[in-house]
A = this chain, B = another copy of it.
Amino acid sequence: MDKILRVNMGAAGGPTFQETPLGDYAGLAGRALTSAVVAKEVPPLCHPLGEDNKLVIAPGLLSGTTAAMSGRISVGCKSPLTGGIKEANAGGQASQVLARLGYAAIILEGKPQDNTLYRLLINKDGVKIWADNSLRLLPNYDLIDKMKQEYGEKAAFMSIGPAGEMKLAAASIACTDMEQRPTRHAGRGGVGAVMGSKGIKVIILDDSGMKMRSPKDPEKFKESTRKWVEGLQKHPVTGEGLPAYGTNVLTNILNEAGGYPTYNFKQGRFDGAAKISGEAQAELETKRGGLATHGCHRGCIIRCSGTYNDKDGHYLTKQPEYETVWAHGGNCGIDDLDTIAMLDFLDDNYGVDTIEMGATVGVAMEAGLIKFGDGQGAINLVKEVGQGTHLGRILGSGAAVTGKVFGVERVPVVKGQAMPAYDPRAVQGIGVTYATTPMGADHTAGYAVTANVLNVGGNVDPMKPEGQIELSRNLQIATAAVDSTGMCLFVAFAVLDQPETFQALIDSINAFYGLALTADDVVALGKSVLKNERDFNARAGFTAKQDRLPDYFKKEAFPPHNITFQVTDEDLDKVFNW
């Protein structure tokens, strides 16, 4: 993992590539690397779909090693959705495989001369890139079926569906999981549109013949990764809750807390919540011969994923995540798991972000295109995206554009990106994160739901402004660091509560690289990542005024607690004062 593959899609005679050393980027990986490259190399005022934007794909520090949970891959660029910097990361196999192939990053640069689609292949023999227009507008599942036949069971794939080819701002990049299904998406911010603008349909990563990455100090590494696993297994969230019910364990919890936004963020409890909860979902999955617990990449021990079969017991989609079940379910007044699973499948197949799409359907419902609760109507709307109709293009451009086109005022976005599954009025800490993260509304950027609702990493009253700034700040810093390790963010539950588990992670990195990092160094890394990101955004024209929730969150009281967002603008502006 000591080299970067730079692919110039804009070269006159067709794409060219070269391998370069890490240089200034030595020591960086994952989000730290993608954000450093974007901040340094992408002109902040460039068009996100133009020649000057770059798509940076980077495994984390520990990806490709034997360390558990190290399978996240970071994708960075200037976002077509927010206009700011973007890092979206995904699970699946890509990160481990790319890391074992020796690459710290793939950087797609330049703008293709024409509309040709390309495949990019990296294996033990090197790199190949070639035109293949036969793949045009293939949905992800069909595409990957074709790829599997050609490249066998060992290969991992990163691909875009029709949405990415159409350069829609909600387009994702799909990464295949252990069963080579295109189910793990770098979803947010339209990274798929940027891949589409570079003309790359699929990246084939095959590490056959490559070895596991080897640590500098194998003994210490073995010992620390053992403690790491131990820590994850003993924490109730990572050892029990997530394995049993997946992320959707949160539906009942958030609904109970009154922080589950329904009917396009109108109220915090949903009558149909129990019907679409993780508990109900796990039961149904098991009954139909699916899996209620399953890892998305080799080396995952939390196994929060699953498989969702249809009524006839045939695979329909991976177990929809909590945010997906919320976005397409509760947020739209839909309480039918099969409908939600179908929407999850369609999103994965067309290659769009489930959170953005669910929020967008909610806005379309608010605009009156279909009624809240109309599951078949929602399916029809998402199918329009895959078909590339005019309506589909509107919806595939995300909630903000959909709100503009249909004249809707209540559009739950920050920096143009849709809010996820936690209302910022009843969970004010996450509201601080939505408002201030450089990413646009994003729960993963500083998951304050921990101390606000889950009693993890402390306790901060979710409905009072006090303590939320510090909570979000600390989580944003920690997350930026975790996102650079290749570790799944869910390790944070154990890391926040168990100092020895945090230490085991640091020890693993130290043993692997022969370093002597301390907790302070981890904090410094997180801060430096955020600094790069904030700096890019400032140069792109963002100010404190973009670090705000839409006005109505400060004015509309949110049932059942009938509360508004209470954190002051002045306090929001202190998040990055360190």
Contacts and interface: CB of A to CB of B under 8 A. Distances in A.
A243 B32 CA distance: 64
Interface in A70-95: 80
A166 B409 contact: no
Given A390-B390, A397-B404, A49 B545 contact: no
A169 B391 CA distance: 17
Nearest to A46: B551
A208 B540 CA distance: 54
Contact of A47 (B47, B197, B389, B551): B551
Contacts of A551: 43, 45-47, 50, 52
Contacts of A548: 45
Nearest to A543: B541
Interface in A499-558: 539-546, 548, 550-552
A45 B545 contact: yes
Nearest to A197: B407
Given A389-B390, A551-B43, A409 B545 contact: no
Interface string A42-67: 01111101101000000000000000
A406 interface: yes
Interface string A362-388: 000000000000000000000000000
A198 interface: no
Interface string A149-190: 000000000000000001111000000000000000000000
A26 interface: no
A399 to B, nearest CB: 13
A548 to B, nearest CB: 6
Contact of A394 (B80, B166, B390, B542): B390
B401 A404 contact: yes
Interface of A: prevailing SS? loop
B550 A546 contact: no
A210 interface: no
A540 B545 contact: yes
This protein's copies in its complex = 2
Contacts of A166: 407
Question: For this complex, into which size category does the number of interface residues on chain A fall?
Answer: 35 or more
A499 B541 CA distance: 41
A393 interface: yes
Contacts of A80: 404
Interface in A201-220: none
A541 B414 CA distance: 13
A501 to B, nearest CB: 41
B409 A405 contact: no
A573 to B, nearest CB: 13
Contacts of A421: none
A193 interface: yes
Q: Quick one: which of A44, A409, A540 has the most chain B CB within 10 A?
A: A409
Contacts of A552: 47, 50
A389 B390 CA distance: 9
Contact of A407 (B46, B167, B390, B540): B167
Contacts of A167: 407
Nearest to A398: B404
Q: Quick one: which of A44, A405, A540 has the most chain B CB within 10 A?
A: A405
Interface in A126-167: 166-167
A407 B541 contact: no
Contact of A409 (B50, B394, B543, B544): B50
A168 B197 CA distance: 28
B540 A409 contact: no
Contacts of A45: 545, 548, 551
A395 to B, nearest CB: 10
Contacts of A409: 47, 49-50
A389 to B, nearest CB: 7
A401 to B, nearest CB: 6
Given A46-B551, A390-B405, A539-B545, 18 more contacts: A43-B551, A47-B550, A47-B551, A47-B552, A49-B407, A49-B409, A50-B551, A193-B407, A196-B407, A197-B407, A390-B390, A390-B391, A390-B394, A393-B406, A394-B405, A401-B404, A401-B405, A541-B546
Interface of A: 43-47, 49-50, 52, 80, 166-169, 193, 196-197, 389-391, 393-394, 397, 401, 404-407, 409, 539-546, 548, 550-552
15 contacts: A44-B545, A49-B409, A50-B552, A52-B551, A166-B407, A193-B407, A390-B391, A390-B394, A390-B405, A393-B405, A401-B404, A401-B405, A539-B545, A540-B545, A541-B543
9 closest Cβ contacts across the A-B interface? A541-B545, A167-B407, A390-B390, A390-B391, A47-B409, A393-B405, A50-B409, A541-B543, A49-B409
